[in-house]
Structure formats: structure tokens, C-alpha cells
Amino acid sequence: MLVRFCAAAFVSILTIGAAQAQVRAPSRLPDPRTEFVRQCAPRMLGRWEHPEEVCGCLHDHAAAAVEDRDLREALLRGISETGVPTIETDWVPASKQSEIGPTFTKIAKPTLQCMFDPAK
């Protein structure tokens, strides 16, 4: 009888522990901004005093100025892979490749602001 009671108590503890673990550890998807800064900052080391600030600013201001999702994602990819705003033509659909130049015109001012005065 004591063995059954101990076995039941052990199973109860395991069940409660598993349920609490599920409640405490919800599946967390990485924040896109944080992930971008994590990938971008190493490319900015040595160029800027505060690479995380520059990367965060580029994400929040320069890339945010681009309304088109495909162009914005290509721009973010270019920055995180090279450390400078760039868009490869094969990163965007052929129908949007003519918009690459105007996109750089649109982001020029916020990009310069981010690179030379990211605190503002």
C-alpha cells in the first residue's frame, strides 16, 4: 500500500512539474528587430562606436521607410549581410527591380542620420 501511495505521489509530481514547465516556457519566436541587430552588429564593428545603435536605427528608420515588403526584406538582408544598405536584384521579384533605385533615394536621409547620429 505504501508503495502504491509513493508511486501515485511520484506520478502526480511528474505531471504537475510537466504542466508547470509548459506554462513557464511558452514558445518564443525571435523578435525580428532583435534578430536583425544580432546579425547586423558584427558587420558594423570597427566602423562605428555603437554598432547596435546604428543597426537598430537602420531597422527602425531607414528600412521602416520602405513600404514594400519585398524591398524592405531585401534591404534588411543586405544590411545584415554586408553592413551597408544594399539590395541585390535577385533578392526581389523581377517586377520590383526597377524600384531599387527609388528605394535608395527614399532611405538616403534616414540612413545617413543613423550612421552619423543614431541617437536622434
Confidence of residue 119 (pLDDT cuts 50, 70, 90): low
CB 40 within 8 Å of CB 53: no
Looking at the 3D structure of the chain, how many domains does it have?
Answer: 1
Establish if 77 belongs to a structural domain: yes
For 43-98, how does the pLDDT look when each residue is reduced to its tens digit (9 = 90+)? 999 888 899 999 999 999 999 999 999 999 999 999 999 999 999 999 999 999 99
Establish if 68 belongs to a structural domain: yes
Establish if 49 belongs to a structural domain: yes
Establish if 71 belongs to a structural domain: yes
Establish if 36 belongs to a structural domain: yes
> Rounded to 10 degrees, what is the CA torsion of 91, 95, 100, 103?
-110
CB 40 within 8 Å of CB 83: yes
Establish if 100 belongs to a structural domain: yes
Domain that holds residue 35: 30-112
The alpha carbon dihedral of 62, 66, 72, 78 has a sign of: negative
For 2-37, how does the pLDDT look when each residue is reduced to its tens digit (9 = 90+)? 555 444 544 455 555 554 545 555 567 778 999 999
CB 39 within 8 Å of CB 52: no
Establish if 24 belongs to a structural domain: no
Residue 56 grid cell: 537598430
CB 53 within 8 Å of CB 119: yes
pTM score over 0.75: no
